[in-house]
Structure 1
Amino acid sequence: MSETTDVTTPDQTANKPGSSAEPLLRVDNLVKHFPIKKGLLQRQVGAVKAVDGLSFEVRPGETLGVVGESGCGKSTMGRLITRLLEPTGGKVEFEGHDITHLNVGKMRPLRRDVQMIFQDPYSSLNPRHTIGTIVSAPFRLQGVQPEGGVKKTVQELLALVGLNPEHYNRYPHEFSGGQRQRIGIARALALKPKLVVADEPVSALDVSIQAQVVNLLDDLQDELGLTYVIIAHDLSVIRHVSDRIAVMYLGKIVELADRKDLYTKPMHPYTKALLSAVPVPDPARRGAKNDRILLRGDVPSPISPPSGCRFHTRCWKATEICTTKEPPLLQLGTGHQVACHHPENADDQAPQDTVLLTAAVAAAEVAGVEVPADKEPAAAADSSAAAAAPAASEGAKTSKSDEDGAE
């Protein structure tokens, strides 16, 4: 009896988000560039930098939400960590094992533990196959013979996701969008995976169906002990399902924090702008509490992203340092990371001195002034600000002349 207790207790602890268990998934400086080729010889003339240096961890039983504008690299990131795409650089570890460049043969056993729910429930299902054939495909491809037979197991999966087991012999065109998404979820859960990557699982569904699918994912996580990485652009959905949230912009993570901290104290200006666009159902609070921030300009091209901070071309707080120095992803509070030289809501954060010192040193580097490593943060900030003032003034004049020329 004592041996059984020793074995089961760690597993139960591991399934709790935020526990001290080792990460189930670890991503380190992940990069994916799609080459652009031209000419008869198909020479590479550039690259689309879809994902350009992502680092994060996902612990067992946790739900990590990933949000951002269309084209920021969310879906590409999902396909990279499930190894449906080959990374250009970086590392992906699953349960402590490096799976970054495993070949097809070595990846096949791993497919049992890592599954993906695709965004479009219409194109992700083969219209020529019955639902029974689609959901039973993982058993056939992995050579798994479930207890009780394949048909019985598939019917149990259909019942688990809220479908009628008698739908076994029907075809995808006989189902609605919400039902098709449930079929995709059943297929992903067939082999009882440890990690499920859901790429915008409710974006193609009606609002009423979205709530049903989101609640279904929550119930399945509690029942099966699943770990989720959920990609979405709907901040309301992400807030409901996630434990932690990562905000992406132009191939990079600009903020990563606990759900509550992110929504109550967003630190990156881009996150603040996204949250300001969330509709408020109460008309009395709409104007006073949620002043919408309208970002200027368009999202830059991932073929040639801006230097320094990639958000500086649309940021109302951008200064000279933002155009030249890329901000690192620093932890400003307990579990709250942000990549910004001028973070929002950081006045009450304990490690703020570290942020000031980092920004001060970076500003001094831009101005060509050496700041001693042992200098106090406040003094470093004063000296670097004074040194960088001429450069910033010159940059402001240049920007003004550019605007006049554009007009």
Structure 2
Amino acid sequence: MSEDKAVTPSAQSGGATLTKDAAPGETLLKVTGLQKHFPIRKGLLQRQVGAVRAVDGLDFEVKSGETLGVVGESGCGKSTMGRLITRLLEPTAGTVEFEGKDITHLGVSAMRPMRRDVQMIFQDPYSSLNPRHTIGTIVSAPFKLQGVMPEGGIKKEVQRLLSVVGLNPEHYNRYPHEFSGGQRQRIGIARALALNPKMVVADEPVSALDVSIQAQVVNLLDDLQQELGLTYVIIAHDLSVVRHVSDRIAVMYLGKIVELADRDSLYKAPMHPYTKALMSAVPIPDPRRKSAKSERILLQGDVPSPISPPSGCRFHTRCWKATQICTTTEPPLLELKPGQQVACHHPENFADQAPQDTVLLTVAKRAAELVADEVLAESAETSAAVAAEVAETVAPAPAEATSEGDAGDSGDSGDSPAKEK
């Protein structure tokens, strides 16, 4: 799933030849302005009094053969986004294009052929399998629904799929309750791969599994991608898993993407304050550092309600860099570095996008008290250094010179909360 791994457009697996139409690197999925609002109804007449803005404007692309990881806190809209792009939910607004075809509002009959190309692995391996059906019936269901007759018969193909995901083909007639959680998830993977899909959306495929089993399932998904040329959208909250499997990573917060970047850039130099806080929470598996002082960033408060999200930047109620512009103007998702997009007025590791606004909000000063002094100082120094580097690489202009000077002032303001402590 990493960039150095070759993805084969076609592969020979068992008796079936899998051919991919989209060449590696071509855009397979394109999402524009995607929204999903769940209505809130009250009263005898069930009048709508509000809406839960689960997904509120997403724009991204997924290229053939790559793995896009999606991370964020619980309730940020990750799973809803996964169900929208697989058309298990009807979008409120926006468009979903698959291989250049708009599938946003296709009906059941029109979506049936597309179901072969887009499959989903569900989060809970217990509730996603019908306990009254045998494993053979569950995995063979896609063939019967699509009217596909594999070479050698359905039973032979199902047994081959079971062996591909690491299960015993002789378990064909067993029921889900006879399997462990990891084995059930493998059954769900076999069902998703039955019709040779081009894209698989995995909704937290390992979160319900024991840690010792998680690595096996992740490695299985990795091997299947290389063998079958799959494209993945993996939704997860475990940042270590996402780093291992993803080529690019999208960070979601309260229904929006706040940062989208390739894996190495995101983990080495996160640009959104929320992303930096998430990265600081990743434990370092080094026994020699168990007594070292932690520089974890503790965010203040909880995620605001998606029923009435904050104005402007939705993260400003918890951000230690928030200023007045963050409360009034929503930052657009811009590509500030090659391959790295961020929606922030005061990004980390980059020149300030709103250098004229340097007065921190009261909530930002309180949030800064939960951030280590070293982190604040490093943030100011890095932002100032990057601003100077950008000014050197780009042809000098009066506006850029002013921006560089203001960026240095903004970096000083970033240290002001620490001085007040």
Q: Same fold (TM over 0.5)?
A: yes
Offset at residue 289 of structure 1 (A):
8.0
Contact map agreement 1:15 1:225 (CA 8 A) in 2: no
CA distance in 1, matches of 2:23, 2:290: 39
Contact map agreement 2:258 2:344 (CA 8 A) in 1: yes
CA distance in 2, matches of 1:64, 1:384: 32
Q: Paired residue for 1:295?
A: 299
CA distance in 1, matches of 2:150, 2:335: 46
Output one character per residue of 1:286-313: Cα deviation in whole Å (capped at 9) or x when no partner. 5658510000011100000000110010
Within 5 A, what are the aligned runs for 1:241-260?
A: 241-260=245-264
Output one character per residue of 1:12-64: Cα deviation in whole Å (capped at 9) or x when no partner. 99654xx3x2x000000100000000011111000000000000000000000
Higher helix share: 1
SS class of match (1:108): helix
CA distance in 1, matches of 2:122, 2:292: 39
Offset at residue 332 of structure 1 (A):
1.1
Name which of 376, 381, 391 aligns with 2:399: 376
Name which of 169, 189, 196 aligns with 1:192: 196
CA distance in 1, matches of 2:51, 2:205: 29
| Letter aligned with residue 267 of structure 2 | Y
SS class of match (1:299): coil
Offset at residue 334 of structure 1 (A):
1.1
Within 5 A, what are the aligned runs for 1:306-385?
A: 306-346=310-350, 352=351, 356=353, 359=354, 376-379=399-402
Matched, 1:166 2:170: yes
Name which of 221, 224, 227 aligns with 1:220: 224
Unaligned runs of 5+ in 1: 1-6, 347-351, 364-373, 387-391, 397-407
| Letter aligned with residue 174 of structure 2 | R
Within 5 A, what are the aligned runs for 1:6-405?
A: 16=24, 19=25, 21=26, 23-285=27-289, 291-346=295-350, 352=351, 356=353, 359=354, 376-379=399-402
Contact map agreement 1:117 1:197 (CA 8 A) in 2: yes
Alignment RMSD: 2.6
CA distance in 2, matches of 1:280, 1:360: 34
Q: Paired residue for 1:3?
A: none
SS class of match (1:376): helix
Contact map agreement 2:324 2:357 (CA 8 A) in 1: no
| Letter aligned with residue 181 of structure 2 | G
CA distance in 2, matches of 1:100, 1:362: 40
| Letter aligned with residue 139 of structure 1 | F
Contact map agreement 2:68 2:247 (CA 8 A) in 1: yes
CA distance in 1, matches of 2:266, 2:53: 26
| Letter aligned with residue 186 of structure 1 | A
After superposing the two structures, state which structure 1 stretch, 284-293 or 150-159, moved more. Answer: 284-293
CA distance in 2, matches of 1:71, 1:111: 27
CA distance in 2, matches of 1:378, 1:173: 67
Unaligned runs of 5+ in 2: 1-8, 11-18, 359-396
SS class of match (1:44): strand
Offset at residue 249 of structure 1 (A):
0.3
Offset at residue 384 of structure 1 (A):
12
Offset at residue 106 of structure 1 (A):
0.1
Question: Relative to structure 1, is the Cα distance of residues 255 and 112 closer, same or farther in structure 2, using a 3 angstrom cutoff?
Answer: same
CA distance in 2, matches of 1:221, 1:384: 44
Output one character per residue of 1:231-267: Cα deviation in whole Å (capped at 9) or x when no partner. 0000000001000000000000000011011111011
Contact map agreement 1:327 1:341 (CA 8 A) in 2: yes
Question: Relative to structure 1, is the Cα distance of residues 219 and 258 closer, same or farther in structure 2, using a 3 angstrom cutoff?
Answer: same
Contact map agreement 1:280 1:290 (CA 8 A) in 2: no
CA distance in 1, matches of 2:334, 2:211: 36
After superposing the two structures, state which structure 1 stretch, 282-291 or 43-52, moved more. Answer: 282-291
CA distance in 2, matches of 1:55, 1:46: 24
Q: Paired residue for 2:4?
A: none
Contact map agreement 2:356 2:406 (CA 8 A) in 1: no
Contact map agreement 1:325 1:362 (CA 8 A) in 2: no
Contact map agreement 2:323 2:357 (CA 8 A) in 1: no
| Letter aligned with residue 274 of structure 2 | Y
Q: Output the TM-score relative to the length of structure 2.
A: 0.80
Contact map agreement 2:259 2:343 (CA 8 A) in 1: yes
| Letter aligned with residue 176 of structure 1 | S
